[in-house]
Amino acid sequence: MALIEPHGGRGLVCSLLTGAELEAETIKAKTLKQIRVTSRSTSDLCMMGIGAFSPLHGFMTKKDWKGVCENFTMADGTVWPIPITVDCTKEDADAIKPDSEITLVDEETGTMMATMKVVEKYEMTEADKSWECMQVFTTDDIAGHPGVEKVHKQKAVNLAGPVKVLSELDYRERFPGIYKTPAELRQMITDKGWSTVAALQLRNPMHRSHEYLAKIAVEVCDGIVIHSLIGALKSGDIPADTRLKCIDALVENYFTKEHVLQAGYPMEMRYGGPREALLHATFRQNYGISHLIVGRDHAGVGDYYGMFDAQTIFDKIPQGEGGKYLKTKPLKIDWTFYCMKCDGMASMRTCPHTKADRVILSGTKLRKMLSEGEEIPDHFGRKEVLDILREYYAGLTEKVEIKMQKFATGEEMK
């Protein structure tokens, strides 16, 4: 069987230039008005460049932005869950003529990321930003939600138009063998002979619950891609190189090699909970992945989302035949944990025992315990992983405060 088709019905839409075309566009980019953009926009450009955001080939118009926020669809009816926009100051916007070209420059590194033909400029008032946050994040809590904070830090005007991407940054050099474009991962999956493929989304170290989820997926699909976020995270999250060491240790010791692949992608987390679960499924379709594992609090932060909101949202988006609709399906799995009475990993669907019998597994809880030097309960994580994490935390010069959410404490469990 062939792999699932890329989202949008137009194949992989890749905006990254190469060879002579890249050389010529780079020369031209130096002559254009430069707009400095945030790490979020830079990561979005990387995703558009490699085709991970197919069918997007640029930043969204106001109609796209409004449709995505309200109805999960762009102006042409293509399902998309989170606005992909880029901003600038009103002064810069006033200086940009209609249909003119600009260069987008990463504000942190100064790297010329892309050229862009500006087809539309639209103002974003504070009321507009608040409305977007309520639609996408279901909260406008600037102080507590990192995604909301980023939206409110956006400048006054959004720019829309197609891009020509000039750089993937240094992901390929920093993560050799892990950083994969959709085309590369599709080829790896094809070489394996898989057609049904599940992805395990990871921004935390892979603990026993993640391992269990991955093995459930292997039982029902041809294989699993452990797909790690290697873009920017919030303060307190564990960096990608440490998380990848943990995955290596688990794959080496606890997985059958012919049914597992590892890969990484360069997006920045938005911590959008249910909406971000949809985004994770959308771009996974472009990587050739037919199923996304969605657990109890996918891509959440704090206590902003219900335990299984990220699962039920898949039933709320427009459904239909054709390339405009999302084809990657959620693999919905209940809360998983180690049960001492069951003497193994279990879920709320399979375990009849009480909270007192369970070792409740959470990436947030694990980070907090390790950062404070606490003893880790038996069966919380594999020894190989815990040794790597203890070494990481021992090397930190500053302690990072980690706030617990109610789901990480297990207070909702029976």
User: How many separate domains does the chain show?
Assistant: 1
Output the 3-class SS for 172-208: HHHCCCCECCHHHHHHHHHHHCCCCEEEEEECCCCCH
Cβ-based neighbour number of residue 350 at 10 Å: 12
CATH number for position 157 = 3.10.400.10
Residue 177 lies in a domain: no
pTM equals: 0.93
Position 271 in a domain = no
Q: Is residue 137 part of a domain?
A: yes
Sequence-distant (6+) residues with CB within 8 A of 384 are 246, 249, 250, 253
Coil, helix or strand for 166? coil
Render each residue's pLDDT in the chain as its tens digit; 414 residues. 689 999 999 999 999 999 999 999 999 999 999 999 999 999 999 999 999 999 999 999 999 999 999 999 999 999 999 999 999 999 999 999 999 999 999 999 999 999 999 999 999 999 999 999 999 999 999 999 999 999 999 999 999 999 999 999 999 999 999 999 999 999 999 999 999 999 999 888 888 889 999 999 999 999 999 999 998 877 778 889 999 999 999 999 999 999 999 999 999 999 999 999 999 999 999 999 999 999 887 888 888 998 889 999 999 999 999 999 999 999 999 989 999 999 999 999 999 999 999 988 666 777 778 888 888 888 888 999 999 999 998 888 766 555 545 544 455 544
The DSSP bridge partners found for residue 224 are 198, 260
**Cis status of the peptide bond prior to 81, with omega within 30 of 0:** no
Specify if 341 maps to a domain. no
The structure tokens 């409740």 sit at: 360
CB distance 170 to 43 below 8 Å: no
Active site amino acids: 203-204
| 148, 139 Cβ separation under 8 angstroms | yes
> Do 94 and 102 meet the contact criterion of CB atoms below 8 Å apart?
no
The answer to whether residue 88 sits within a structural domain is yes
Owning domain of residue 79: 19-165
Question: Within a domain: residue 265?
Answer: no
Q: Residue 281 domain-assigned? A: no
Is 363 a member of any domain? no
